[in-house]
Amino acid sequence: MSPHPEPVVSELIELLSLERLEQNLFRGQSRDIGTKYVFGGQVLGQALSAAQATVDSGRMAHSLHAYFLRAGDVEHPIVYDVDRTRDGGSFSVRRVTAIQHGKVIFFCAASFQGSESGAEHQLPMPDVPGPEDIDPAPAVPPGVMATLPPKVQRWLSRRGPFEFRHVYQRDELNPSKLLPFQQVWFRLSEPVGDAPELHHALLAYASDFQLLGTANYPHGISYYQPNVQMASLDHALWFHRPFRADEWLLYSIDSPSAQNSRGLARGQIFSRDGRLVASTAQEGMIRVLPQDAPAHDSKASR
């Protein structure tokens, strides 16, 4: 790890480093990053960190399947209760329940496996420009920023722990209708330690960025519009090959369907050298409300 990590990076690592209350019980703090409620990636990363802490070394997460049940309160910590469901000869399974204010807000199952040899194939990485050939997204003009809700202003003005380079830029404040595809390069903004468990938790955190928003592309809508209400319902993540979250990764995302106020998005994550390192899928609620009922000022009903 860098001897003097940037505050946003060190804060994220601290966020993913849970306090152990009992053998299978952990507590994680919450952070306000500008989203209305706790960012889903935070809960994913913390739940995976809790599960990993109960698995013998040598077995790494290969899949995680999660459901978001209630919105999390950014002002309070979250307790993670891990059930050691199974430790077999090759695989270990953990169930993690996240509790806040006495209620379950999230649960997931994660499976772990040691390294084995076997048949191997993968789909090729899309042929896109490299991250160094793509300019960072331009800053929102001050006059436009002043018209946005305070939470959205904090989200757009903060410097987060991850860098993003969109292959095809889209103005989320004035979105046009596009095909439901996007490719985004991302990486942690500075090098960190070598522990694969840390990089798995960091990727779980980052995998919630960009994903569901792809389902908005054909409809010309965006989360930043006050009458658009969005919430993650579930999230699946598969780890295929070793990777580092502090090196450039390509997130290639598509949305095959949206219906009944729900959108589905799928993602493939490639390393810089073209290896498919992870896959994701997420379904979320997407509602377009009447203009006189702004979504950012009302609690999402799920």
Average pLDDT over residues 99-115: 97
**Band of pLDDT at residue 266, cut at 50, 70 and 90:** very high
What three-state secondary structure class fits 58?
coil
Residue-wise pLDDT for 59-82, tens only, equals 999 999 999 999 999 999 999 999
* Domain boundaries, given as residue ranges, for the chain: 7-115+134-297
Task: Provide CB contacts within 8 A for 244, sequence distance 6+.
Answer: 199
Looking at the domain 7-115+134-297, which fold is it? Porin (2.40.160)
* Separation CA 190–CA 1 (nearest Å): 9
Each residue's pLDDT tens digit, 162-214: 999 999 989 888 899 999 999 999 999 999 999 999 999 999 999 999 999 99
- Of 112, 89, 267, which Cα lies nearest the Cα of 196? 112
Question: 220 or 6: which carries more pLDDT confidence?
Answer: 220
Per-residue pLDDT at 200: 98
The mean pLDDT value for 234-257 works out to 98
Provide the pLDDT for residue 4: 46
Residue with tokens 């985004």: 184
The structure tokens listed for 160 are: 């987060």
Residue 117 pLDDT greater than 80, yes or no: yes
Return all residues near 246 (Cβ < 8 A) that are at least 6 apart. Answer: 187, 188, 190, 191, 192, 199, 202
pLDDT digits (tens, 9 = 90+) for 140-149: 778 777 777 7
| Contact present, 249 and 225 (Cβ < 8 Å) | no
Query: 148: which DSSP letter?
Result: S
Average pLDDT, the chain: 91
Is 255 in contact with 214 (CB distance < 8 Å)? yes
The residues annotated with a catalytic role in the active site are 208, 232, 282
Q: Which residues of 87-123 are buried (b: 16+ CB within 10 A; e: fewer)?
A: eeeeebbbbbbbbbeeeebbbbbbbbbeeeeeeeeee
> What is the DSSP secondary structure assignment for residue 191, as one 8-state letter?
-
| pLDDT for the residue 291 | 72
